[in-house]
Chain A
Amino acid sequence: MIIPLPHVLLFSLALFGIGAYGVLTRRNIIGILISIELMLNAAGINLIAFSKTTALAPETGQIFAVFVIAIAAMTATVGLAIVLALYRARKTVFADEVNLLKW
């Protein structure tokens, strides 16, 4: 059974929305990073869905999705490293307590 394209797109939109909501409401920086991963994965699902339906060459979308996974891993690595460094310096991982710089 093939899942129709609009269903997949709605699913990925919902995933993207949950990610965006998490980014806006979470206090914990690690929670924000996880929400960003959700947003990236929503785009990955789109790419795969389109590569099966509208794409001229299906490989393009699949390869793109593989790169997206790699980039997501890279963002998580660098992000956690920076959060760890912040925690060592400031003893906090809450976004609203990181407030030395403001205008």
Chain B
Amino acid sequence: MGPVESLRHFIPELVLLGGAFTAFFLDFLLKNKRLVGYFALLTIVAAACLLKAPPKESLDLFYGFFHLDGFANLFRVLALIAVAATILIAFGFSPLRDRYEGEFYGLFLFMAFALITVAAANNLLMIFLSVEFVSILSYLLAGFLKNDLKAKESAVKYLLFGSVCSAVMLYGMSLLFGAAGSIDLPAIARVVDSPAMKPLGMIGLLCFFVGLGFKISMAPFHMWAPDVYEGAPTPVTAFLTVAPKALGFAVLMRVLASVFGESYRDWRQVLMWLSILTMTLGNLTAISQTNIKRFLAYSSIAQAGYILMGLAVFPSPLGKDGVLIYLFAYLFTNLGAFAVVSSVGDRTGSDEIASYSGLSERAPVSAALMTVFLLSLTGIPPLAGFLAKYYVFAAAVEARFITLVVVAAVNSAVAAYYYFRVIRTMYLVPADQPALPKPPVSAAAVTWLMAAGVLGIGLFPGFFIKLILG
């Protein structure tokens, strides 16, 4: 489809892009930077309202450079929810309140656009450009706080790790392009099966996976995650643990589905061991953490391991559904948990788990909601996390990956231990500090919305599954 006809299907993205530039312009004009934030939120709501139901057959917009199908549409929704929730969390985050606040919201509108292009990328050039777009915005956002030493350090580490992984990914892409003679994923699929080009193509694919593995914080490319997540401003951490990771999985699923047809079976073992390694490393290191952001960072690495379970069995439709459901359940749960961390951290001035002691008396609502989110991360019914875990476990059992299932079950038990440790600190350790003031309305609202999502998915799974899988 040519560019002019494509615009008709591209309206939400145009709204986001126009909104992003307008937000930066408004930032010049307005004294009250919070208004830019409201404008950003309005833009996202407008874009969400303009989203059309996915077409039955996929649309190749802009000569195939923007591949719009049901799958991409699902991730559009995910990206918009994540960005909107992050902006709401940021409203209640006081270190951000200075004259740069407007830029923060503008950058997030660009981020929403970038995430959507990742979801719709269907050839090597677009995958590289969109993934870089998201990465570079993430580096900037991680180091956004001007006078925060930890934020600066996390930005530098993210930048160095991220750029090296991007360079390796690009080198892999150049080899793939050489082997296939084309940047389209279906053309590359033909190369993987042809013996003459196989060695070159294989090396290319391996390098390509390094870049994607970095994005989803898969072991052994997870080293950056805890440092970046601890140092970045809490709303940005909330966002980084969810959206770029989900979109990394989207690209991975697209590549696996279109490049590996028959030859996929050889890769299942590799993905299975990577899944085991990721969840075990994440869980074991999470046990000894004392900072809640770092703790949730390791827990998010472990969660990536569970999501990889769904990919390890990928040709089975159950595995694919499991990944999609997991990503949505994880979106609500993790954003909710970080919303609480952000609002509690803002009121106590500390992100240590010790400062949560007696939270049930000092801020009963925050403590109760945090418990809901932690239970959902553990996978206790009737919460969203249970449904998600149920799906990936079922997929693994169906594919007869018994080792994987056993390791994952043991890991879940370990995870339950450290999630309950935080709940214990909140409810059983006596309070030694005074009660906390009420959180601002926006922070309370986003926490309640995420809790409603977690409970809704858990209580009405049928409705939710139908919504996602159609």
Contacts and interface: CB of A to CB of B under 8 A. Distances in A.
B278 to A, nearest CB: 17
B179 A75 contact: no
A61 B147 CA distance: 43
Given A75-B136, A82-B139, A55 B164 contact: no
A48 B279 CA distance: 40
Contacts, number: 129
B154 A40 contact: no
A83 B156 contact: yes
Contact of B182 (A46, A55, A85): A55
Given A71-B129, A78-B139, A101-B153, A40 B167 contact: yes
A25 interface: no
A64 B183 contact: yes
B294 interface: yes
Contacts of A83: 156
B177 A47 contact: yes
Interface in B109-143: 124-125, 128-129, 132, 136, 139-140, 143
Dominant secondary structure at the A interface: helix
A76 B265 CA distance: 40
Given A46-B174, A50-B174, A100-B153, A36 B163 contact: yes
A35 B64 CA distance: 34
A50 to B, nearest CB: 4
Interface in A41-67: 42-44, 46-47, 49-50, 53-57, 60-61, 63-64, 67
Interface string B145-175: 0110110111111011001101110110111
Nearest to A60: B183
- The winner among B128, B155, B173, B181 for most chain A CB atoms within 10 A is B181
Contact of A103 (B139, B143, B175, B294): B294
Contacts of B244: none
Contact of B160 (A32, A49, A60): A32
B235 interface: no
Interface string B208-232: 0000000000000000001100110
A40 B168 CA distance: 8
A100 B398 CA distance: 45
Interface in B335-358: none
Contacts of B179: 54
Contact of A75 (B153, B157, B163, B182): B163
A23 B166 CA distance: 13
B94 interface: no
Given A16-B171, A47-B177, A29 B154 contact: no
Contacts of A49: 178
A98 B155 CA distance: 11
A95 B161 CA distance: 12
B178 A101 contact: no
A90 B179 CA distance: 46
B231 A64 contact: no
B168 A39 contact: yes
Contacts of B166: 75
Contacts of B152: 82, 85-86, 89-90
A92 to B, nearest CB: 10
Nearest to B231: A101
B159 A67 contact: no
Given A33-B160, A43-B171, A75-B136, 19 more contacts: A40-B170, A42-B171, A43-B174, A46-B178, A50-B174, A54-B178, A56-B181, A57-B182, A60-B125, A67-B125, A67-B129, A79-B159, A82-B152, A86-B153, A89-B149, A90-B152, A100-B150, A100-B153, A103-B294
- In the A-B complex, list the 6 residue pairs whose CB atoms are closest, starting with the nearest: A50-B178, A46-B174, A39-B167, A43-B170, A101-B227, A43-B174
27 contacts: A16-B171, A23-B160, A39-B164, A40-B167, A43-B173, A46-B178, A49-B178, A50-B177, A50-B181, A54-B178, A54-B179, A63-B125, A64-B177, A64-B183, A68-B170, A74-B136, A75-B132, A82-B152, A82-B159, A85-B143, A86-B143, A86-B155, A89-B149, A90-B152, A100-B150, A100-B231, A101-B150
